[in-house]
Structure 1
Amino acid sequence: MTISSAEAVVQQQLDAYNAKNVTEWLATYAPTAEQFTLHGERFAFGHEEMRARILVRFSEPDLYAELLHRIVMGNIVIDYERITRNFPDGRGTLEMMCIYEVTNGLIQKASFAIGAQKLLS
């Protein structure tokens, strides 16, 4: 199976996320990339806003994204993930659908659908 360049950059993004490496994570995004809630508001524009948001997330000791399924169609990559997080009420998980649009080897837009939080016992 051949891995597309779009899939490769999204995998690099996921690997950097799980390594909590903000520099490598941002390197997968265009400088003017945008992040959105699915069908909703933009919550980050550009590296400066994205860096501020991800540094908060990377401070969580149990943060980890497990890829459950991936669909690739041209320059669009859709990941279905289970995210382990440290919520105010304790350690837990949530499901997330991540839709990435890749152009010229960088993520230009990303939209996220976030499922309900489940605390782990």
Structure 2
Amino acid sequence: MQSLSPADVIQRQLDAYNAKNVDAWLATYAADAQQFTLHGELLAAGHAAIRSRVLSRFAEPDLYAKLLQRTVMGPIVVDYERITRNFPEGKGTVEMLCVYEVADGLIQKVSFAFGEPLLMVPGA
């Protein structure tokens, strides 16, 4: 069986995220994977912590990540995405840079840079 390219792994992750399939989404991550803010704080480490972090997102009815651009350099995949979210203040979007490191067909580390949330104007 041929292993998936890093871009294929990240696409599977994105597809599972948009399907809100936590098991398929976690299957793209190494068991000891780590999530960070870009150049900073550890957000979650390991499947249990990563699962807990994403389950609240998957509960949002309008959650959807639209891929705007993808760059691949060896095992590093950088996605620029616009995420539709249900914020406490209402439905909106936030832009994100997601920097993934893939090894052995799984996401090992990912760092996120978050833009400013933009609320949608009803009826616009």
TM range (shorter): over 0.9
Structure 1 distance, partners of 2:94, 2:49, is 23
Q: Distance in 1 between matches of 2:106 and 2:120?
A: 35
Q: How far is the alpha carbon of 1:81 from its aligned partner?
A: 0.2
Q: Deviations over 1:52-87 (max 9, x none)?
A: 010000000000000000000000000000000000
Alignment of 1:25-40 (within 5 A): 25-40=25-40
Partner of 1:91: 91
Shift of 1:118: 0.3
Structure-2 residue corresponding to 1:105 = 105
Aligned-residue offset at 1:48: 0.1
Which letter does structure 1 place at the counterpart of 2:23?
A: T
In structure 2, runs of 5+ residues without a counterpart are none
Where 2:116 maps in the other structure, the secondary structure is coil
Task: Measure, in 2, the Cα distance between the counterparts of 1:32 and 1:53.
Answer: 15
Once the two structures are TM-superposed, the CA of residue 17 in structure 1 deviates from its matched residue by 0.2
Unaligned runs of 5+ in 1: none
CA distance in 2, matches of 1:22, 1:78: 21
Please state how far the C-alpha of 1:20 moved relative to its aligned partner.
0.1
Over aligned residue pairs, what C-alpha RMSD do you find? 0.7
Q: Which residue does 1:72 correspond to in 2? A: 72
After TM superposition, what 4+ stretches of structure 1 lie above 6 angstroms from structure 2? none
1:48 aligned counterpart, secondary structure: helix
| Secondary structure in structure 2 of the residue aligned to 1:50 | helix
Q: How many residues align?
A: 118
Displacement of 1:11 in angstroms is 0.3
TM-score by length of 2: 0.94
Query: What's the counterpart of residue 47 of structure 2?
Result: 47
The answer to whether the aligner puts 1:117 opposite 2:121 as a matched pair is no
